[in-house]
Each structure stands twice: as structure tokens, then as C-alpha cells.
Amino acid sequence: MPKLVEYKDMAPRAKAVVEGIAAARGIDPSAINNVWKALARHPGVMEQFAAEMKAAFAPGKLDPLTKELVYLAVSIANQCEYCIASHGAMARRKGMTDEMHEEFMRVVLAAQKGNKLVTAYRVPVDEAFDEA
């Protein structure tokens, strides 16, 4: 199953998606990363995911690095190695220093522990949180 389709071999719908992403990143379409080469087999899924990523990372009220860190946090919680590698690289390109990375890891690990603590001790939600 893990077949990657190179840009030059993609169907037109897949090529169009890759060209859009490549243009936004200022890279050549042939240098697109593997997730898009894999998705090229299913253009419908590919178009929807590309649109969703574009909307998620569009300029807004949260800065680009914060968004990368949120994406990376979800990927660590879900244990997706590809996503950790790719969005870790993107976070560094968007300004994550090693010091920020360590702070980020502290929060991720504290959350991970807090999530399990609360479950293990079956802690009921405080009314104050619902009112907030």
C-alpha cells in the first residue's frame, strides 16, 4: 500500500493541489513532501485535506508559530512520527528555538500526566469551569 506518486506521474487534480502548495511555499512541485505523494492516489481526500490545512494556517489572530506548536502537540499526543518530524521541522523554520522547544515539551508532558491523573482519580468537573 505505501506507494508514493511523484509529481510528474500525478493525475491532473492531484497536480493542481501540489502546484498550489508549492507556489505558497516557494518551492518546486517536484520537491513536495511525501504526504502529498501518498494522497495523490485519492484526489478527493487530497483536495479536502489541502483546503483544510490552508484554512487552518491562514493568517488570523493566532501567530504562525503558535499554530505549529498546537499541531505538534496534537501529533505527539497521537504519536504520529511523520507529523512530529514534519511539523517539528516547520516549527523550527517559524522560529522555535531549542529553549522554546524545551518549554513546549514541559507543557506537553505536564498535560499528558494531568490527563491521565484526572482519569485515574475520576475527578468530576468543577461547576466553576462550566460557568466560565
Per-residue DSSP letters for 26-79?
TS-GGG--HHHHHHTT-HHHHHHHHHHHHHHTSSSSS-HHHHHHHHHHHHHHTT
Return the number of the residue (23 or 116) whose C-beta is nearest its own copies: 116
The stretch among 6-14, 15-23, 122-130 that binds its own copies (CB under 8 A) is 122-130
User: How far apart are CB 28 and its own copies at their closest, in Å?
Assistant: 13
Rule CB under 8 A: say whether 26 interacts with its own copies: no
Number of C-alpha atoms within 13 angstroms, CB side, residue 104? 21
Give, as ranges, the residues between 29 and 48 that touch its own copies (CB under 8 A). Answer: 33-35, 37-39, 41-42, 44-45, 48
User: How far apart are CB 19 and its own copies at their closest, in Å?
Assistant: 19
Task: Work out the end-to-end distance of the chain between its first and last CA atoms, rounded to an integer number of angstroms.
Answer: 48
Give, as ranges, the residues between 57 and 116 that touch its own copies (CB under 8 A). Answer: 57, 60-62, 66-67, 69-71, 73-89, 92-93, 97-116
Give, as ranges, the residues between 5 and 24 that touch its own copies (CB under 8 A). Answer: none
User: How far apart are CB 48 and its own copies at their closest, in Å?
Assistant: 7
Are 51 and 27 in contact by the 8 Å Cβ rule? The answer is no
Are 64 and 42 in contact by the 8 Å Cβ rule? The answer is no
The single residue listed with the C-alpha cell 523550527 is 92
User: How far apart are CB 46 and its own copies at their closest, in Å?
Assistant: 9
